[in-house]
Amino acid sequence: MTRRFGGVRAVDDVSFTLQAGSITGLIGPNGAGKTTLFNLIAGMYRPNSGRLTFGGHRIERQRPDQRTRHGIGRTFQIPRPFPAMSVLDNVMVAAPGQAGERFWRVWSAPSRVAREEASVQARAMDWLRFVGLDRLAEAPARTLSGGQRKLLELARVMMLDPRLVLLDEPGAGVAPPLMAVIVEKIRALNAQGVTFLIIEHDMDLVMSLCRPVLVMAGGRLLMEGSAEEVRRDPRVIDAYLGGVEAGPEGPPS
């Protein structure tokens, strides 16, 4: 796909395949086009050219909500929960297609709305237990730490029953103990069949979690390979360091 903004090709003829069941990393220096690529996959932008196929369906012209129904969910680098709402309510609102969202249904079918709300609440509590936030279910979302907000984002996106989750920097601003929890939950969901595409700058996290790794630079796909291959590739070293030899730790995070 290609996406232009004026004369700038933010994503320049990028082509790759995500294997179902993989945890794929997406790395690159600032301005490489990673977030634009996420927005193209999620439907916030449409490509100027190219195609996007998911599960055998062409989706590059579909709205974000249509892609969600196909099974694509995403999180954001900076979580923005509804601060005054409870943690539980923040998860519940993510459930799509709720009858109670239609004003007339509240009056014409109150029993159905009540049953559905109870079911959604139970599912939301299950996901809060999964991410370890159930004890904070009634707390306002504004009281959560940065790492807890990342876990809340994960619980919210799982309410969509996604097949593919786009994670935007899950490690950004997260203390190491909570980062270990996030990694554990990603692995557990992946073992259940959820595919992940993850933007991340922390190379230690990428090395331990992602197989394979995609590298972008200047809007183009620079290479695809294992984390170790990526760390040693001269093109990646050049993209990050401008040609300066990387040390034993590879490109900086």
pLDDT tens digits for range 176-226: 899 999 999 999 999 999 999 999 988 888 888 999 999 999 999 999 999
- With bands split at pLDDT 50, 70 and 90, how would you rate the model's confidence at 237? confident
Position 162 pLDDT exceeds 70: yes
pLDDT at 111: 67
pTM exceeds cut of 0.85? yes
Give the C-alpha distances (Å, rounded to integers) separating 88 from 122, 139, 153, 161, 195.
10, 8, 12, 17, 25
Q: Would you kindly state where each structural domain of the chain is located, as residue ranges?
A: 1-81+146-253, 83-143
Give me the architecture of the 1-81+146-253 domain, per CATH: 3-Layer(aba) Sandwich (3.40)
